[in-house]
Amino acid sequence: MTDAEQRRGRLKVFLGYAAGVGKTYQMLTEARDLQKRGVDVVIGYFEPHGRHETIARAEGLETVPRQMVEYRGGRFEEMDTDAILRRHPEVAVVDEFPHTNVPGSPRLKRWEDVHVLLDAGIDVLTTMNVQHLESLNDQIWQSAGVRVRETIPDWVLKQADEVVMVDLTPRALLNRLARGVVYPPERARQALDNFFKESTLVALRELAMRQAAYAVESRLPGDDEPLPSAGAAGAGGDGAARERLLLIITPDPSSAALIRRGRRVADYLRADCLAIYVTKSADFADLTAERRDNLERHLNFARGLRIESRVLEGRDVAETIVGFARMHGITQIFVTRERPSALRSWFASAFVQRIVHLARDMQVTVVADRSARRSRPAA
Amino acid sequence: MSVDNHRDPEALLRQIEAAERAERRGQLKIFLGYASGVGKSFKLFDEGRRRRERGEDVVIAAMQPDSDPAVAEAIRGVPIVPTKSLRGVPVIDVAAVIARRPQVCLVDGLAYDNPDGSQRRKRYEDVEALLEAGIAVMTSINLEYITEQQEFAKHVLGRTKTETVPQAFLDRADEVVVVDAPAEADTGIEEQQLSQLRQRALLLVADVVDRQLESYLRANGIQSAWGTQERILVCMTPRANAAKMLASGRRNAERFHGELFAIYVTQQHLTAEDRMALERNVTLARAQHAHIETLEGRDPVRTILDYAHAHGITQIFVGHNLRRSWRTRLGGTPLDRLIRDAEGIDVRVFPQ
């Protein structure tokens, strides 16, 4: 083993808010600068999108050829992680961090490939847009009207050694789009009709800046220290207990938003975060197969976001939850109202009411259903 | 303006276009960096170069004394309107730039004081004059040269600047770009301090963007529940544990770099004791720097939610006792109704 393999590689993320803001361009510019300084840099994956200025930036940099993955009779190109490992450069440039690999690839997600490179001691430069961050998924939908499918768990971005905001004003971006720099004309027209509305871009840009600021802040020393709990706020000193959040998972689709929101709040408050589901019977006989699947998915989703998740058994669901919360020093319980259907809504409200009533010594947060958008941005 | 160049249709066209531009204010674009050496000047001049390549008439009205080679490369061929030197201080030649009538004027380094005897005291006032003359200006500034950031600069860097630009000037800009590149040149600042400056610069521009988004939405008649920034609303009642809610609200707002609001919906038949408790709560809210408002409405839940939606609130904090403090009507307790109708907003219920 060489020295390089003993240390983990450094990860640097170029964060933007839309296609065409210049993430890849800036990443390649940095790669060239590194090369000029004698660093061994290769391109592991680069998506040119036919953008001439960007393509010009890649010239003179060595590229590790992509691999072909066969899927359903088609052939797809993916990053060849093994080939990069064999080549073992000091730095690898890997575009589009949140990309999902075609089925049949060794790993599901590109960020998992990146982790393999980092583990081998290779530094990685990569790009992503803020809307791909898992915990922002509902907020992005709420504020920008965009539902993003390829997401990346927050802890993955949190592990980055550096996050740099690549800024371009929405006006400049729209100009670029109109000039055909970002997409060919037909695609540009579609983009302008859908995603590239100025108000949407402004909202996404603000979110990206706040995310980048958060990334900088959470890398400042002292950030691991617990914050004083609410009661001791301002006083400092001995009341400095960590907050503990408990997320109540159900088979209802609203649980996904609850998990994302809980994760985000926990990260910002530097709080611990647990999740539970309470079943009335050990064999889940009270659930339909579909609801059982949903529940399984939600538990896995929470675990994927590094939330410790458990299933408890209890006859009285609300009492079991509150009892567990007390035993584990929970300071805040997160619940959702289930998706509205007249009767459900009434029951859900009764359930929430009961939790609120029983957990009189704790805070209870009823997480909003952000899937229903109240106001849309003007066209 | 007289048309003296009538034989040259191109020149004529340029003059007509220039006259039209003068009728409207020029666009202002500011590149904000968190420290010197992060490449603001390069970004500024590089955009100037690209605009020029696209056929815009670009001139340079001010440069920094010691630019790096990349800047020299970017400005090659760009016409310069030389600064005047007054007592050894470079001052933008506003009259010469206006006479030259470019489409875009580049001013590298916004935070300069003009020496005594100049027409205007500050360089940003010169820029203002150019904008008023219909000339677009692109300029650059460092975080530590913003007037309102002096206390922060003192805390982080142990120094302050006297030649500063007020935040309001940034707020009025049509576009503000944050230059977040890592410091290339030696800034003479420790890494941790650089991180603090970076964070502050990002948040400052995010706030500018947020205000611009707000006014855009308002101008287009759209409610502002957007969730780009966390906004916490504490509902105060006389009996609620307002101290705890406000302290938690402040802490949450700070962690999210969001805003804190506190409201009270007036109720009839308050006892003297309740009224005193309420006044105490308002004092507490003031101490936590909340935006405070007293609202009136027959239906408190509706009143709270209307306020929340109008102000883009993302989290409502209420006391447990909201269940009892207003008479139960049809459709459950007020707390039930608040939770049920708080579309798109989290509701956090606090114990007594």
DSSP string spanning A304-363? HTT-EEEEEE-SSHHHHHHHHHHHTT-SEEEEEPPPP-HHHHHHHHHHHHHHHHH-TTSE
- Range from A35-44, A187-196, B78-87 that averages highest in pLDDT: A35-44
pTM score? 0.84
The sign of the dihedral angle between the CA atoms of B311, B313, B317, B318 is positive
Give CA–CA dist B122/B249, Å, rounded: 40
- Over the stretch B64-82, which tens digit does the pLDDT of each residue have? 877 778 888 888 889 999 9
Say whether B251 and A230 touch across the interface (CB within 8 A): yes
Which residues neighbour A146 within 8 Å (Cβ) at sequence distance 6 or greater?
A131, A140, A195, A200, A204
- Over the stretch A298-314, which tens digit does the pLDDT of each residue have? 999 999 999 999 999 99
CB of B141 within 8 A of CB of B34?
Answer: no
Largest Cα–Cα separation, chain A: 68
Rounded to 10 degrees, what is the CA torsion of B94, B96, B98, B104?
-90
Q: Comparing B22 with B252, which gets the higher pLDDT?
A: B252
Phi-psi region of B285 (alpha: psi -120 to 50; beta: other; left: phi over 0): alpha
pLDDT at A102: 94
Mean of all residue pLDDT scores within chain A: 86
pLDDT cut 90: percent of chain B above it: 54
| Alpha-carbon distance A301 to nearest alpha carbon in chain B (angstroms) | 21
Q: Report the first-to-last Cα separation within chain A, whole angstroms.
A: 58
Name the residue in chain B with its Cα closest to that of A369: B344
Q: How many CA atoms lie within 13 A of A213 on its CB side?
A: 25
Residues 359-378 of A with CB under 8 A from B: 359-370, 372-375, 377-378
- Taking residues B36-46, what's their average pLDDT? 89
Give CA–CA dist B246/B263, Å, rounded: 11
CB of A333 within 8 A of CB of A279?
Answer: no
Among B116, B14, B252, B69, which residue's Cα sits nearest to residue A269? B252
B216 inside 8 A of chain A by CB: yes
A145 inside 8 A of chain B by CB: no
Residue with tokens 């060489």, as numbered in its chain = A2
Phi-psi region of B47 (alpha: psi -120 to 50; beta: other; left: phi over 0): alpha
CB of B111 within 8 A of CB of B164?
Answer: yes
Is residue A193 scored above 90 in pLDDT?
no
Residues 217-236 of B with CB under 8 A from A: 217, 220, 222-223, 225-229
B340 inside 8 A of chain A by CB: yes
Instruction: Give the relative orientation of helices A198-217 and A170-178 as an angle to the nearest 10 degrees.
Output: 130
Among A136, A171, A134, A137, which residue's Cα sits nearest to residue A156? A134
Q: Among the residues of chain A, which ranges form H helices?
A: 3-6, 23-36, 52-58, 81-87, 110-119, 137-144, 154-158, 170-178, 185-193, 198-217, 254-269, 289-304, 317-327, 342-358
Write phi, then psi, for B221 (nearest 5 degrees): 65, 30
CB of A139 within 8 A of CB of A369?
Answer: no
Residues 183-222 of A with CB under 8 A from B: 198-199, 202-203, 205-207, 209-210, 212-213, 216-217, 219-221
The sign of the dihedral angle between the CA atoms of A122, A79, A160, A125 is positive
Give CA–CA dist B309/B193, Å, rounded: 38
Across the A/B interface, how many CB contacts are shorter than 8 Å?
169
Q: How many CA atoms lie within 13 A of B55 on its CB side?
A: 1
pLDDT at B103: 95
Rounded to 10 degrees, what is the CA torsion of B5, B9, B13, B18?
-20
Name the residue in chain A with its Cα closest to that of B34: A213
Q: How many CA atoms lie within 13 A of A309 on its CB side?
A: 22
- Give bridge partners of residue A54 from the DSSP assignment: none
As given in the structure block, the two tokens for residue A200 are 């949407």
A235 inside 8 A of chain B by CB: no
Cα distances (Å, whole numbers) of residue B222 to A356, A377, B219, B336: 34, 7, 8, 28
A125 inside 8 A of chain B by CB: no
3-state secondary structure of B168: helix
Contacts of B257 in chain A (CB under 8 A): 210, 213
- Taking residues A267-274, what's their average pLDDT? 92
3-state secondary structure of B193: helix
Which residues neighbour B130 within 8 Å (Cβ) at sequence distance 6 or greater?
B26, B61, B92, B94, B97, B98, B105, B137
Contacts of A209 in chain B (CB under 8 A): 178, 202-203, 205-206, 209
pLDDT at A379: 31
Nearest to A143 among B180, B227, B336 (CB): B227
CB of A181 within 8 A of CB of A55?
Answer: no
- Over the stretch A129-165, which tens digit does the pLDDT of each residue have? 999 999 999 888 877 777 888 999 999 999 999 999 9
Name the residue in chain A with its Cα closest to that of B255: A268
- Over the stretch B189-239, which tens digit does the pLDDT of each residue have? 888 899 999 999 999 999 998 888 877 777 776 655 467 889 999 999 877
pLDDT at A238: 35
- Give bridge partners of residue A125 from the DSSP assignment: A12, A93
Burial of B29 (0-12, 13-18, 19+ CB in 10 A): buried
Cα distances (Å, whole numbers) of residue A279 to A295, A312, A320, A328, B349: 11, 6, 10, 19, 25
Residue with tokens 């190109």, as numbered in its chain = A77
Contacts of B342 in chain A (CB under 8 A): 366, 368
Say whether A234 and B247 touch across the interface (CB within 8 A): yes
Name the residue in chain A with its Cα closest to that of B183: A164
Write phi, then psi, for A350 (nearest 5 degrees): -65, -40
Nearest to B175 among A162, A171, A209 (CB): A171
Number of other CB atoms surrounding residue B328 within 10 Å:
13
Which of A85-89, A267-271, A342-346 is predicted least confidently?
Answer: A342-346
Say whether A337 and B340 touch across the interface (CB within 8 A): yes
| Alpha-carbon distance A148 to nearest alpha carbon in chain B (angstroms) | 16
B181 inside 8 A of chain A by CB: yes
pLDDT at B74: 84
Q: Comparing B111 with B213, which gets the higher pLDDT?
A: B111
- Taking residues A228-238, what's their average pLDDT? 39
* Angle, vertex CA B271, rays to CA B268 and CA B274, nearest 5: 95
B289 inside 8 A of chain A by CB: no
As given in the structure block, the two tokens for residue B214 are 């707000």
- Over the stretch B260-287, which tens digit does the pLDDT of each residue have? 999 998 877 778 888 888 888 899 999 9
Name the residue in chain A with its Cα closest to that of B206: A206
* Predicted confidence band of residue A47 (pLDDT cuts 50, 70, 90): confident
- Give bridge partners of residue B292 from the DSSP assignment: B262
Number of other CB atoms surrounding residue B209 within 10 Å:
25
| String of DSSP letters for B194-251 | HHHHHHHHHHHHHHHHHHHHHHHHHHTT------SS-EEEEEE-TTS-HHHHHHHHHH
Among B237, B232, B230, which residue's Cα sits nearest to residue B261? B232
pLDDT at B24: 84
pLDDT at B16: 67
Number of other CB atoms surrounding residue B80 within 10 Å:
12
- Over the stretch A313-354, which tens digit does the pLDDT of each residue have? 999 999 999 999 999 999 999 998 765 555 555 555 678 888
As given in the structure block, the two tokens for residue B106 are 């580049």
| Alpha-carbon distance A138 to nearest alpha carbon in chain B (angstroms) | 10
Nearest to B202 among A216, A261, A374 (CB): A216
Q: Which secondary-structure segment (H or E) carries B127? A: helix B123-132
Helices and strands in chain A: count of H runs, count of E runs? 14, 13
- Taking residues A356-375, what's their average pLDDT? 78
B303 inside 8 A of chain A by CB: no
- Taking residues B44-63, what's their average pLDDT? 94
